[in-house]
Every structure is written in structure tokens, then in C-alpha cells.
Structure 1
């Protein structure tokens, strides 16, 4: 088994958004999206592939030590690409191919109108894992 982190990237820049922003969804659409993710996690708990997950608040900052005392703080939590890391899930799977399969499935969570939002997920192995595919 190998652990992978799936980071949910919420694209903030209009040129990258291929879905209606969540703040424009109806309460029912938000509930359906969260329900999809909860059902996904529950299924992975049954299969033994779920480790942990959390949604993240949109508030945050970047902090870095500058060697001068008080660290500088920037507006955030947006990387330069204006992505918001909306949450994460850790999975423990048999193969990189399985991790890719699950990331693709999670990317299809419903959004406005029940349509898959096809959000970007960053799939990262934990240190010591060498991803390989069977392709």
C-alpha cells in the first residue's frame, strides 16, 4: 500500500474556471457536492483505502521566515496561480494507477446543475513512494 495526498484546487482566475463558482450554487447543489464527497470517502473507508480528509477555510496567509525577526505575511492562501486549496484527502492504495482512478472520480463531484465540476486535483505521493503505472 502507498499513501497519496489529493489536494482539491479551486481555480479562482476566471480564465481557468470551467464551472460555476461555489458561491453561486444553490444550497441544494452545495449539499449534493458535499454528499458526493462524503459518499466517496465512506466507500473508501469500506475498501480500506481512506486515511483522512478535511475541507479548508478560504481564509489564510502565506508566512515565511526572512531572518529578520517577525516573518513576512502575504495575502492568501492563494498561490501565484490564484488557486485556492479547498481541501485534501489522504488515501492508501495498492498502486499509482488506483490513485489516479480515485482522483479522477473525485474530480467529477457535482456542482451547479448537478454537472461534474471537473476540478483540478493535485495527486502527491508521500515521501518514500515511487509512483509507477502499468501503462
Structure 2
């Protein structure tokens, strides 16, 4: 079963730890956070549970069909918004419980002073040809 783990900086319910924004962290703190993410992905590669992952730039554009042939485009998302999708990881695991376990582990990535940031991650199953229970 494939799941998408979405990293939302400053999104979700109120953070357990106020870790600020990543641009306020020291270079060593950013490096430690990125190293944790890389090590986590390598661990999942060794178990065969890793599919893909990417960090996302805070810049972006919203686009939608306007019915007239030229889609309207607006700036955004903006880094100062409450919810910024910072990256994603796709995992392929045997069960929903395993997906929860891995999401919890990823949530412990370090932030300021090396402390776990307890970030909220959005865990979403991929749709398949049939409905699957996540309970």
C-alpha cells in the first residue's frame, strides 16, 4: 500500500514545539534536519519501503482552468502563510499501522537546538482501483 507523507511547515493543529520557520534556524540546524531526512530515506530504501521524496521550494504558482482557454495564474503559496507544503515522501508499506509508525518517526526530525520538532505530517493513501480501509 502506497502512502504520501506531506510535510507541512507550520500547518496542521498547533505545533507541540514552536520551532519557528526554517529560515530562522542556524545553518547547522538546517543541516542536521536535512541529514535526518536523508538518513530516514536511506533506511527505508534498505527495507524496500521507500518510493520517492522531494523537498519543495516555497515559491509557487496557483493555476486553474477558467473555461476560456487561458488559465488564470496567481502568485503563491507564500512562505509566510500558516500552511506551507515543504516536501513529500512516498512510501510503500504492508499496512496502515506501519505507515503511521514511519510518519511518527519522521515527525521527530530535529530543529532548533537539535530538539525534535514534532511536526504534523499529512498521511494520505494513494487511490487504487478499489476502496481500502485505513482503519
* TM-score of the aligned structures, taking structure 2 as reference length: 0.87
Partner of 1:7: 6
1:107 aligns to 2:102 (yes or no): no
Q: In structure 1, what is the Cα distance between the partners aligned to 2:106 and 2:94?
A: 18
Q: Specify every segment of 5 or more residues in structure 1 that has no aligned partner in the other structure, as ranges.
A: none
> Greater strand percent: which structure?
1
After TM superposition, which residue ranges in structure 1, 4 or more long, deviate above 4 angstroms?
Answer: none
Deviation at 1:16, TM superposition (A): 4.2
Partner of 1:90: 90
Partner of 1:76: 76
Q: In structure 2, what is the Cα distance between the partners aligned to 1:122 and 1:40?
A: 17
1:65 aligns to 2:65 (yes or no): yes
In the alignment of these two chains, the number of paired residues is: 128
Q: Specify every segment of 5 or more residues in structure 2 that has no aligned partner in the other structure, as ranges.
A: none
Deviation at 1:73, TM superposition (A): 1.8
* 1:132 corresponds to which of 114, 124, 134: 134
* TM-score of the aligned structures, taking structure 1 as reference length: 0.87
Query: What does the per-residue CA deviation read over 1:37-63, in whole Å, with 9 as the maximum and x for residues that have no partner?
Result: 001001000011000000001100111
- How big is the alpha-carbon RMSD for the aligned residues of Structure 1 and Structure 2? 1.8
Q: In structure 2, what is the Cα distance between the partners aligned to 1:99 and 1:111?
A: 23
Query: Given that residues 55 and 86 in structure 1 are in contact (C-alpha distance below 8 angstroms), is that contact kept between their aligned partners in structure 2?
Result: yes
Q: In structure 2, what is the Cα distance between the partners aligned to 1:99 and 1:48?
A: 13
Query: What does the per-residue CA deviation read over 1:10-69, in whole Å, with 9 as the maximum and x for residues that have no partner?
Result: 117xx9453121111111000000000001001000011000000001100111011123
